Amino acid sequence: MELLSVPWSLLSSCCNNVTLLGIFLTAFVLLFDFMKRRKTWTRYPPGPSSIPFLGSMLHVDFQQPHVSFTQLSKKFGNIFSFQICWRNLVVLNGFEVIKEALINKSEDIADRPRLPLYEHLGICGKSAGMILARYGRAWKDLRKFSLSTLRNFGMGKKSLEERIIEEAGFLSSAFESEESRPFDPHFIINNAVSNVICSITFGDRFEYTDEKFQKLLHLFEESMKLATGFLPQMLNAVPSMMYLPGPHQKILQIPKQIIRILKEIVDEHKKIWDPANKKDFIDAFLGEIEKTKGDQETTFNELNLLFTTSDLFSAGTETTSTTLRWALLFMLLHPDIQSKVHEEIDQMIGRERKPVLGDQVNMPFTNAVIHESQRCGDIVPIGLPHMAYRDTEILGFFIPKGTVVVTNLSSVLKDETYWEKPHQFYPEHFLNAEGQFVKREAFLPFSAGRRVCLGEQLARMELFIFFTTLMQRFTFLIPENQPKPQLDPCFAVTSSPHPYQICAKLR
């Protein structure tokens, strides 16, 4: 961790000295951009006009970029170009376009762009974790290891299913302790979902009152909020701004706090590490560090252990937790659908036996409700940015190597040419005329291709067991004398519901 702590403390102590340099660099970049002309290519996608320095940024509401991109696609087509300062982007919209890109041209756009904001934190090169790592051997080795290790510690196995069922019991008890009083389910659900990935990554679950656990959850939540909007885009476009004082410094400080907590956990593992008895992901990674010592090309180092653990913790918590909160909100707003779920649970499981994953095949309506919650909740409306790994072509448009490619997944989940009622909560999207569950090709909440979500299988297990367990035990009601909850989402990397109160009445 000396690699982390020395640069951060040095930058902090030198902040005043570099302020003038930062201002000079920023001014130089502005002047350079005024003189620069956007390069054009034959068959390059059309797009909105650009202005010096800002590019096309004024055409987008960065609090809900997916909405802006969908509107722009109606004018420029489902493949259009865009500029953030001087960086060229291509935005993809609609099922057919994104299917072509993520599935048929998967490797062509499997790279990730440079993000100076994260490089400033040390996330770069062979120590970039999994989510932001560039496409190549380091990323392939780490993803292969991570998938194998997650499977070894239970992903897709009965052992992990038992952990989820156990945690669902703790979650139900936490709901029951509210004794039908109004409460916000947000962090209670976060606790439960996060504990599943904690049991794999750290080797154990945390009590919901554990101070370190709560601090970690709140830091990740705050980090998600700060990572979106106009300011982070500017910091990535003009890295010299990071050395200037201002409110943006908070964006840099919170990830450092997260890494410090994770380092404490890793240090505790190192003290009792036994290569013959690897209990969790951290132990397995430490073993890989020992095994690959001397390999100059290896991605297995302690810094990357911290970043990869952070990736697993955040990805294993945020999307599943947010989906469950959307699902409960839809049950509040659609009591008739809630009643049908109750009926199916009573018929197929009863009220005493704990739900198991094997029940899913016999519960088409409940399964459809979960899938529709993912579709309508639109949890990750803008997939993480891709970058063209080589020159490629998507449906006739030329995408040069190094171009950032943005996949507007929201435009797939709400594609008006594909879904019958794209802007309504309608579980029948996933049911045929006989009431049987049907898969839909445009259901891509986890993205697709080379960069598909690593934890998709885990998330599917959690969503079914957590949701069915809660619905088995409770009827969810809007508290008396409280307004109807909003359906407009809050966008912060994920698209989550506004805070709402709920009453959980035992059935």
We report the CATH number of the domain holding residue 454 as 1.10.630.10
Task: Look at 65 and 467; give whichever has higher pLDDT.
Answer: 467
pLDDT score recorded for residue 39: 56
Q: What is the structure's pLDDT at 20?
A: 47
User: Cα torsion at 302, 303, 304, 305 (round to 10°)?
Assistant: 50
Q: Does residue 453 have a known ligand-binding role?
A: yes
Confidence of residue 413 (pLDDT cuts 50, 70, 90): very high
pLDDT more than 70, % of the chain:
91
* Residue 455 pLDDT: 82
| Residue 382, beta-bridge partner list | 408
Instruction: Specify whether 174 is located in the same domain as 86.
Output: no
Mean pLDDT, the chain, whole residue set: 87
The pLDDT of residue 13 is: 38
What is the total count of domains within the chain?
A: 2
More confident residue, 478 or 276: 478
pLDDT digits (tens, 9 = 90+) for 138-165: 899 899 999 888 888 765 555 889 999 9
- Give the mean model confidence (pLDDT) for residues 363-368: 98
Residue 369 lies in a domain: yes
Backbone torsions φ then ψ of 494, nearest 5 degrees: -100, 160
Considering the domain architecture, whether residues 95 and 160 belong to the same structural domain is answered as no
Residues 6+ apart with CB under 8 A from 481: none
Structure tokens belonging to residue 478? 């809007």
What is the band of 7 on the pLDDT scale with cuts at 50, 70, 90? very low
Tell me, letter by letter, the H, E, C secondary structure of 107-143.
HHHCECCCCHHHHCCCCECCECCCCCCCCCHHHHHHH
Choose the most confident range, by mean pLDDT, from 31-40, 281-290, 468-477.
Answer: 468-477
Residues 142 and 64 placed together within one structural domain of the fold: no
Residue 333 lies in a domain: yes
Amino acid at 50: S
pLDDT band of residue 464 (cuts 50, 70, 90) is very high
Does any domain span residue 120?
no
Per-residue pLDDT tens digits for 15-50: 344 444 554 555 455 444 444 445 568 899 999 988
Question: Are 65 and 195 members of one domain?
Answer: no
| Burial profile 443-482: b = 16 or more Cβ within 10 angstroms, e = fewer | bbbbbbbbbebbbebbbbbbbbbbbbbbbbbbbbbbeeee
Q: How far apart are CA 28 and CA 325, in angstroms?
A: 47
186 and 93 in one domain? Answer: no
pLDDT of residue 154: 66
| Nearest C-alpha neighbor of 149 from the set 462, 465, 454 | 454
Task: Provide mean pLDDT across the span 416-441.
Answer: 96
Average pLDDT over residues 229-247: 77
Co-location of 233 and 351 in the same domain: yes
Q: What is the percentage of the chain residues whose pLDDT exceeds 90? A: 57
Per-residue pLDDT reduced to its tens digit, 307-359 = 999 998 888 888 999 999 999 999 999 999 999 999 999 999 999 999 999 99
Give the count of beta carbons closer than 10 Å to the beta carbon of residue 442: 19
Who wins on pLDDT, 231 or 123? 123
Question: What was the pLDDT predicted at 53?
Answer: 76
Measure CA 158 to chain center. Answer: 25
Least confident of 308-317, 363-372, 459-468: 308-317
Does 491 map to a domain? yes
Residue in the structure block whose two tokens are 């703790």? 170
Whole-model pTM: value is: 0.88
Rounded to an integer, the average pLDDT of 430-435 is 96
Same domain? 153 vs 96: no
User: Residue 405's domain spans which residues?
Assistant: 137-506
